[in-house]
Chain A
Amino acid sequence: MAAYLPLFVALPLAAGFACLLIKGVAPRATPWLSVASMLGLLALAVGAVARGGVEVTFAGDWGLRPFGDGVWVSGVALVLDGLSRLFLLLVAVVGTASAIYALRYLAPEPGRPLFHVLFNLLVAGMNGALLAGDLFTLYVFVEVASIASYGLVAYRTGGTEVEAAFKYLVLGTLASTGILLGITVLYAATGFLNLADLAAAIAAGAVPPVALAFASGLFVLGFATKTAAMPFHAWLPDAHPSAPAPISAMLSGLLIKTLGIYALVRVFYVVVGMDEQVRLILTALGCLSMWGGVLLAQAQDDLKRILAFHSVSQMGYVLIALGLGTWLGVAAALFHAVNHALFKSALFLSSGSLERVTGTRKLSEMGGVFRRAPATSVGLVGACLSISGIPPFNGFWSKLLILIALVSGGQYLVALLAAGAALMTLVTFVKVQRKAVFGALPARLAGAREVPATMYLPVLALVVLCLLSGLLWPAGVDGVIGAAASAVRSPAGERPAAELYIESIHRSPSR
């Protein structure tokens, strides 16, 4: 019985509107509502992972209907396969950490209940996008999450934050409009919106090649902008630092993966098909992002901007692994996406804590907080080690797996570029650790105090998860991540994964 699937969207949506309802009478309860809804999602996601298989449910009692000479899907389908399962769990974990962090991070100002409304809407949108069984539902939930994030970036309504949100909104809406145009083209050519039916129709050649290329180009443009791949990254270095720290963690840790990577994988691996040009484009975008992000981060002094540029770079890694088109490539890409979500959100939350401890975001003004704020420092160092790729933390293993996938796929030049970028990442984060945590304490910070436990505990929990992910990675890759990869690309390449997806939908029980 897959009827519980809408709960992934309905729970945060209800929590968000409950926050709106009680904002006049009990505003201090709203952060706890967010924490409760995130914990509920965590329970649901763990339950979903434990069940396995492909689960399909339809909104209302619609479903498969005979029409013409076949049976087609009518109505809105919610589909949970291995890929969605992985990301749902990720959203729940990082969402819980951010919600707990936000308990004490945000002062109880009049606008805080509205923050929590938007926070819950953001999570509801992401979950809906992950479960969407047809292209338009995917688009709608991508928009819900995006618009919630535009509002959240502008939460502190100062000049720079609103300007960053403006740029983010303009580029984001441009991307979404491109996606809608692509959907229009595909609908005009096939008459289907459901992912399974579309995949079958495209595989059967119902879409003229020019139209398919046009739609694919629009999808790449749109979803690559959402992933902040270079050269479509212009909004991220301003938007992610301007947001409050828990939102930066959600944006860099989750949004660019669910609206970007997941959507790219779902649209290209399952629906449109990964042919030569698409793979080339993804690899090219990936290489550009990897190096562009790392190089541009060198010139920055603001800690959050450095982290933002490195998000671009790490997404580049994921893209080049996706561009391979093999099972190992997809598995490595997803593994790295999961790891990045864990350590990048830990990094952003730590940067918020550091800002609270030192009163600044500039690395040049920080130093030696290790004695004054030990828990924050440990969290930051752990997350820095993860992103730099130091064993036994998870970053090392996922980057290694990507390199192995590249080499076994024959992409030696790209593997070399990836290794070089990894080195530069290491250099940057050694510098970050040296300046922020170790070194001499400036005189004005002599009275600095540690942040509350609800702020450093989520970071430490995420770092522990990074460590576990690094130590237990073979089990992970065999288990959840492998299931995710197999959902879109069969291991030995014997059957196109789209067929598996389509069959699962058509075999689903419905009236």
Chain B
Amino acid sequence: MTGDGQAWLIRNARPLGGVPTDLLLNDGFIVAAGRGLSAVGAQVMDAADLVALPGLVDLHTHLREPGREDAETVQTGTQAAALGGFTAVHAMANTEPVADTAGVVEQIWRLGAQAGVCDVRPVGAVTAGLDGSRLAELGAMADSAARVRVFSDDGRCVSDAVLMRRALEYVKAFDGVIAQHAQEPRLTDGAQVNEGEISGVLGLTGWPAVAEEAIIARDCLLAAHVGSALHVCHVSTAGSVEIIRWAKSKGWRVTAEVTPHHLLLTDDLAVSYDPIYKVNPPLRTHADVEALRAGLADGTIDCVATDHAPHAAEDKETEWQVAAFGMTGLETALRVVHAAMVETGLLDWAGVADRMSARPAAIGRLDGSGTLGASGSLEAGAAPLHGRPIEPGSPANLVLYDPAASSTVDPAGHASRSRNSPFAGMVLPGQVVATFLRGTPTVLDGKLAR
């Protein structure tokens, strides 16, 4: 999909929250930016007072297809993504079957291309069947039509230090990155909630911060030792932020993400025993939330990633300890970041664009750097370009956002097939008004355009 031939003239949008500017989109690219543009035959959209951001890129999405199409499909998941302002999502490998072969990642890649509302970048499993014992065929996935560059056993930790070292080394050959789900398994056997005051009072097995931090520290050292790239998934503790800050200060190739829910919610929500708040890693304390926000603001944490984890109702309408881990997040991510980072003065819109588009695109090798050779088109053997500045020559991947809006989150209205949003009933600022993928609107007036 390289545009549909229809040019769009977006009037008076504020790129990165700056001065109002007209943007002309044609043939999949931004072709002009400036005041008072005109174009014969172009569709005109009045974007006065709307912030224009580059299309958001999610490094961490569970689309559940193949295997759990009752919870989400590539189609519903990418629709949810578009409604949230995303133009690219990375689909995690813990599907059934696991995305651990070229065949499965190509299947997911094709389903994404067919859905057509948001680019789908498959993440390959690090170990075959996510069993943590032997490497999956990482090279075959990298060379496939899906051009996989991010590998993760997310949901499980690559806890074996030797296997982790080999994985980090092996992907250097094709500029890959290992995205680690940092969870020391022995320290978290049966764990349910953050270990602290709340776990003790509730009688739920504690999930100590050290179980995350110990793995992150080890992996930073391993990445440094073999000179490879480590990405840390869903950082959730203040201690993890400190370790990553230290690793970065050494110049090591370590990047990290934080989820919207870890930027806003805390472990005391578990007092209701409502598993809507059950997530891996668990919600942490207020002090952790403060440290995560500070880490995202100063760049220690590179990006926001949703860890969108849809679950069927019956997997959440249970006792806490048998419920599934995870929360939906695509459709609320930008609004939560608005509330947690922008309204608090920690990030401006340029900062949001950096943390939700440019940096995740760079980590996923979608910014045109590295060996992937990302381009403005979506063809087999190539990868689409994302996270580029809003300027002529960039692919026309855009989100137009109304920062003055405000509404109560109602999961019943979400495009995701699942309803497990922890933000249900909360008033959040903002509204995604429109999303453009390579010049074609996927969302208009806050609704799916196609």
Answer yes or no: are A and B bound together in one complex.
no
Residues of chain A touching chain B, judged by Cβ–Cβ distance below 8 Å, are none
Residues of chain B touching chain A, judged by Cβ–Cβ distance below 8 Å, are none
